[in-house]
Amino acid sequence: MINKMLLASGLISFVSFGHAETVKVYAAASLTNALTDIVQIYEKQHPQTDIIPVFGASSALAKQIEAGAKSDIFFSADVDWMNYLVQKQMIYAQQIRPLLSNQLVVISPETLNISFKAQPNFNFAQVFKGRLCTGQMESVPVGKYAKQSLIKLNWLDNLKGRIVGTDDVRSALAFVERGECEVGIVYKTDALISQKVKIIGTFPQNSHHPIIYPMALTKQGEKNADAQQFNQFVHRNPLAKAIFVKYGFVVNP
């Protein structure tokens, strides 16, 4: 009987030893390519750790975390949704690091020739005939930034009825790639990964809130040593920094 118990105990220990630890990272859709590359490098160096990224609009991800979804790290495309989770007591404020910056650009399909000038007296609504795609303007970060810029330039009213709000920035990019929207407002990093669209202009930085990507361990993640280690890797490792730069992000000091 004792031998059987010892054998069972040993088997449990063996199974536990061979089981990879998991880290769930909830990250903005615009981070998909860069973070996927970083995860691949990290997992080669740490084969016992399984990093599971979940990509989507920062707004949707924050709501999922609030609702109790298992998440160790939140990597947002704006400060507002990070602060939202601080207010909901899902993240400690001292964990937040403003890791990256980005730019807001206007794109069109490669085949179109649409002019753009970031000036209030430029009649943007008349230079294209179809729809404009960006994230949902009341919640998705890229849509919130887009709305701020369109208001600043006095363009929003003339575009009403023609703006399509998408679930996240990659959906907006896809609409423009397919030609379903003649114009899109996305991040520079999203425009750069596509061969089907071109950047026709950049919104001035003073036309919208700073595009900051804060990253933080959730309260659950603070208890996960592997999450802490991956968090440090993303923040401090030169390889991670090089990948972010490769995709067009600015790494904040």
Q: Binding site: which residues?
A: 30, 58, 169, 187
Conformational region of residue 154, where left means phi above 0, alpha means psi within -120 to 50, and beta covers everything else? left
Give dist(CA 241, CA 37) in Å, integer: 11
Number of other CB atoms surrounding residue 117 within 10 Å: 12
| Paired tokens of 102 | 């980005």
Nearest to 35 by CA among 80, 77, 75: 75
Contact 125, 158 (CB under 8 A): yes
Number of other CB atoms surrounding residue 94 within 10 Å: 8
Give dist(CA 27, CA 240) in Å, integer: 15
Binding residues for molybdate: 30, 58, 169, 187
Nearest to 58 by CA among 84, 27, 98, 85: 27
